[in-house]
Structure 1
Amino acid sequence: MPVYKSLTDNELFVLIQDGDKCAFEEIYERFNGLLYIYACKMVPDREDARDIVQEIFVYLWSNPDIKIKSQLSAYLYTAVRYKIFDWLDKNKSRTNYLQSLESFADRGDYVTDNYIREREFASLIEKEVSLLPPKMRLIFEMSRQQHLSQKEIAEILHLSDKTVKKQMSNALKVLRLKLTSFLLLAVILMLR
């Protein structure tokens, strides 16, 4: 399944909509742990948090007609958040929710730190993208900022689909290499 690892989230999502089980498994691998950690921050029971995340993946797989207006990651996090709200209503856990909210308020500095780290990471990504070779950077920005498909980029730039795909793959490899250490540090700090 190494070919799937090189695809973007949105490319994998298109394959999932066509019923590609391997693409779904790759998305599951990428997001299951992160969504679980996210759910655990708001749901006190670990099994309930796991169930919420699983429901999102079941829905993603069984509804190929889902329309996503932004990035798949944003869609998944939003879906988990709404599922948590449903869970809170069904379980009448308002007391636990209030306690969780108080705890969250007590950790205000932690939230501020996360926001600062998030902004620093966004800035670092922008810097690394600006250092890509010009053609690679242009293709990457057209894909990520203008949300153009590889085919659309190829038509606009008069390149082959294969060239665009290769340039995107190379850009992602470069960025992954440069940003991995920063991400590991951020995750370690988040889990403290």
Structure 2
Amino acid sequence: MSTYKSLTDHELFVLMQDGDKYAFEEIYERFNGLLYIYACKMVPDREDARDIIQEIFVYLWSNPNIQIKSQLSAYLYTAVRYKIFDWLDKNKSKTNYLQSLEDFSQKGDYVTDNYIREKEFASIIEKEVNLLPPKMRVIFEMSRQQHLTQREIAEILHLSDKTVKKQMSNALKVLRLKLTSFLLLAIILFIR
């Protein structure tokens, strides 16, 4: 269905929620490969990665009342990340749990304080990334979140390597400028 290819992710999502299987198929085509690559970077077994992605799409199709507060891509990547965390949890050995508990008991408050600061800073970065122009944001996210090379991004998005490199450079300049002022403010407040 070539008409579906021209629709935005949001438009497809709305149609899919109304039961349009072609809209769902287009969403699947757009995101299946990218989500699979993303999952493979954290899950060593390719079949497990494929199963995780399939579970996400089954859930998406079978729950037409899902409310998405951001963009569909962000929702899907977050869903995959949480599904991977569940998978990792189920596959962790008791030793890892005991080691984690021991580390926390030794570093407790310090680790928690740093964790909170990291989460706050990550939230600020995420907000700034979401403010980037759409094409630039997609390229930046594919590079930084999915850990794809410029060549892989260019192939997936059907762009030249040069275009991808320029978009990444522009994104980093914008973020550097915005985040530098935030860091300076944070340092000033910390010194007081």
TM-score (ref. length: structure 2): 0.52
With over 3 angstroms needed to count, the CA separation of the structure-2 counterparts of 1:181 and 1:12, relative to structure 1, is same
Contact 1:13 1:23 in 2 (8 A): yes
* Residue type at the aligned position of 1:181: L
Partner of residue 69, structure 1: 69
CA distance in 1, matches of 2:95, 2:43: 12
Aligned-residue sequence identity (percent) comes to: 79
CA distance in 2, matches of 1:32, 1:182: 22
Partner of residue 87, structure 1: 87
CA distance in 1, matches of 2:32, 2:54: 8
* Residue type at the aligned position of 1:23: A
CA distance in 2, matches of 1:2, 1:42: 33
CA distance in 1, matches of 2:94, 2:7: 41
Q: RMSD in angstroms over aligned alpha carbons?
A: 3.1
Matches of residues 22-171 of structure 1 in structure 2 within 5 Å? 22-92=22-92, 122=132, 125=135
CA distance in 2, matches of 1:46, 1:30: 19
Contact 1:88 1:94 in 2 (8 A): no
Partner of residue 10, structure 2: 10
CA distance in 1, matches of 2:54, 2:70: 22
With over 3 angstroms needed to count, the CA separation of the structure-2 counterparts of 1:73 and 1:18, relative to structure 1, is same
- Displacement of 1:46 after TM fit? 0.4
Unaligned runs of 5+ in 2: 97-128, 137-156, 166-192
* Residue type at the aligned position of 2:30: R
- Displacement of 1:125 after TM fit? 4.1
SS in 2 for 1:15: helix
CA distance in 2, matches of 1:183, 1:124: 18
TM-score (ref. length: structure 1): 0.52
Q: In the comparison of the two structures, how many residue pairs are matched?
A: 113
CA distance in 2, matches of 1:3, 1:41: 33
- Displacement of 1:184 after TM fit? 9.3
CA distance in 2, matches of 1:88, 1:60: 22
Residue 181 of structure 1 pairs with residue 159 of structure 2: yes
* Residue type at the aligned position of 1:73: S
SS in 2 for 1:80: helix
